[in-house]
Amino acid sequence: MRIIPAIDIIDGKCVRLTKGDYSTKKIYSEDPLSVAKYFEDCGIRYLHLVDLDGAKTHKIVNYKTLESICKGTDLIVDFGGGIKSESDISIAINSGAHQITVGSIAAINPDVFITWVSKYGSDRIILGADCRNGKIATSGWIDTTDIDIIDFITNYERQGVKYVICTDIAKDGMLQGTSSDLYESIINQSNVKLIASGGVSTMDDIHKLKGIGCEGVIIGKAIYENKISLRQLSTFVLS
């Protein structure tokens, strides 16, 4: 299972939110590149980079941060937040992103999303499936739709999607464990490569997610709040 630390960006700084609430912003570093380099020095190979300004304004904002991390490290970066046009995808790819996470467009304009999957490939486009009470949320989690999370994922799997990042917003940043039951349901009802996100607080959470078959796990606040050490994670990666 891939271990994927997260860096969320607001105003070019490394931050974390709680349940996606921008008013809960906590700054952990003024220099995201140094954070990414530290991850890499500890044996980490992957990074989940989120442009929270972009998610809020509906266009990429912090692409220079993406570019600096991709040029300054060998991390394999997936990037999301504000991907609303093909121009945004081009900016992300040209800035060095290996994969692009698209959520809101997939919920709001399915035809456009499927066109992107066909054009750029299912290995490059990740479906962002973020939910609140089992329903898909969009626009930086500000809006909630009536779309069922399982239906959303299985419908897109039938249309060629392979990678899915799923976040249960109620768990995000809470350090109270993950929505393992939800992830298990998704895995049992589909064959997507599921990347779990939100709520990881202990190594036990990570082992459980591996046990149910998650392809990857995104870890954010647990690292920044020293609930899980990068040494523990690097040992897991090498085990």
Question: CA–CA separation, 162 vs 123, rounded Å?
Answer: 7
The residues, any chain, with a CB within 8 Å of residue 41's CB and separated by 6 or more, are: none
pLDDT of the residue at 239: 66
Which domain range does residue 137 map to? 2-238
- Determine which one of 53, 88, 130, 205 is catalytic: 130
Measured distance CA(66)–CA(86) in Å, rounded: 17
Return d(Cα 21, Cα 120) in angstroms, integer: 32
Q: Catalytic residue at 205?
A: no
**What pLDDT does 85 receive?**
95
To the query of whether residue 78 is one of the catalytic residues in this protein, the response is: no
Mean pLDDT of 83-95: 96
The enclosing H or E element of 76 equals strand 76-80
Secondary structure letter of residue 30 according to DSSP: S
Per-residue model confidence (pLDDT) at position 140: 66
Total domains in the fold of the chain? 1
The CATH number assigned to the domain holding 168 equals: 3.20.20.70
The yes-or-no verdict on residue 78 having pLDDT over 80 is yes
Options 8, 51, 172, 205, the catalytic residue: 8
